[in-house]
Every structure is written in structure tokens, then in C-alpha cells.
Amino acid sequence: MGLVSLIWGVVAIVLMVLALIPLLGWANWLVIPFAAIGAIIAAIGIMLSEAGKNGRAKTGLLLNGIVIVVGIVRLSIGGGII
């Protein structure tokens, strides 16, 4: 689960960078739910792994969290959230 959430987070970061391009801000509406699913997978990975072996899942949770926050900020700046 940790590796899946880490890869999911990297893909979400790449999609977020593409969504930062002007005129592609609408992609944040797709990236935020994608990253939320990755964060849920990471949380499950943290719960199911042992205490010392959950670094990948924590990193995946962090990456997905960053994508969610940046996506929401980008939508609020661009007027996508009313």
C-alpha cells in the first residue's frame, strides 16, 4: 500500500504541475479527487503497516496532501471555488 500511495502521489504532483499552467486550471477539479483517493490509500497503508515500515505511505500521504492544498488554493485564486 505504501508504494502504491507513493506512486499515486508522484503522479498527482505531475498532474498538479500541468494544472498550474494558465487555461488548464480546470484540471484541478480532476486532480483534487485523484489526490484524495491517494491520501485514503496512504492512510490505509499507514494503518496496516508496522511502525518502522510505513515511510512510503507517510510520504505518499504528504505528497497527496500537498496536491490537495495547492489545488484548492489554485482554484480559489482563479475563481473556481465560489
Q: Please report, as a single letter, which amino acid is at residue 10.
A: V
HSE (CB half, 13 Å, CA atoms) of 25? 13
* Mean of pLDDT values over 28-47: 94
Where are the domains positioned within the chain? 2-75
Nearest-angstrom CA–CA distance, 24 and 80: 12
Q: Are 45 and 59 in contact (CB under 8 A)?
A: no
What the block records as the C-alpha cell of 12 is: 498527482
The share of the chain scoring above pLDDT 90, in percent, equals: 66
User: Rounded to whole angstroms, what are the CA distances from 66 to 50, 52, 56?
Assistant: 24, 23, 15
* Mean of pLDDT values over 50-63: 91
**Confidence check: pLDDT of 34 > 70:** yes
pLDDT value of residue 58: 93
**Confidence check: pLDDT of 55 > 80:** yes
Query: pTM for this structure?
Result: 0.88
